[in-house]
Amino acid sequence: MMDLSNMSVGDLRNLQEQIKQEMKTRETQEVQKAREQILAIAQSVGMPLKELMATTGRGSKGATVAVRYRHPQDGNQQWTGRGRQPKWVKEWVDGGKLIDDLRV
């Protein structure tokens, strides 16, 4: 291990800059290696990378999520099941009814 206690402030700053540069280099190398591994996986299953990413749900930003719950009297009130429960769902459940009764 390096003894930093005897180094001047200038030397420490220089070392800090060297560390920053080395971190950037290694991070770039790791990202490139990960890309190559992902591409190799896609090729091994005979699927284009874009198609592989689209099947995971990661490749299609902004994609709509299917509605899982619908208000029984007002079909315009819908919920995907993600995020905070809408007020009407909370009231339904708090009223002793099953959320599965709202499932589409």
Q: What is the pLDDT of residues 40-71, one digit of tens each?
A: 988 888 888 777 777 655 545 566 888 999 99
Provide the domain count of the chain.
2
47 and 13 housed in the same domain: yes
Report pLDDT for 16. 96
Residue 80 placed within a domain: yes
Report pLDDT for 62. 63
Residue 26 placed within a domain: yes
Domain residue limits at 87: 69-102
Residue 92 placed within a domain: yes
Distance CA 42, CA 53 (A): 9
Report pLDDT for 59. 47
Report pLDDT for 2. 86
Averaged confidence pLDDT in the chain: 88
Residue 94 placed within a domain: yes
Angle at which helices 49-56 and 9-44 cross, to 10°: 100
46 and 13 housed in the same domain: yes
Residue 60 placed within a domain: no
Residue 63 placed within a domain: no
Distance CA 89, CA 81 (A): 10
User: How far is the CA of 13 from the CAs of 3, 56, 86, in angstroms?
Assistant: 15, 44, 53
16 and 48 housed in the same domain: yes
49 and 78 housed in the same domain: no
Residue 90 placed within a domain: yes
User: Which of left, alpha, beta for 81 (phi over 0: left; psi -120 to 50: alpha)?
Assistant: left
Portion of the chain with pLDDT greater than 90, in percent: 58
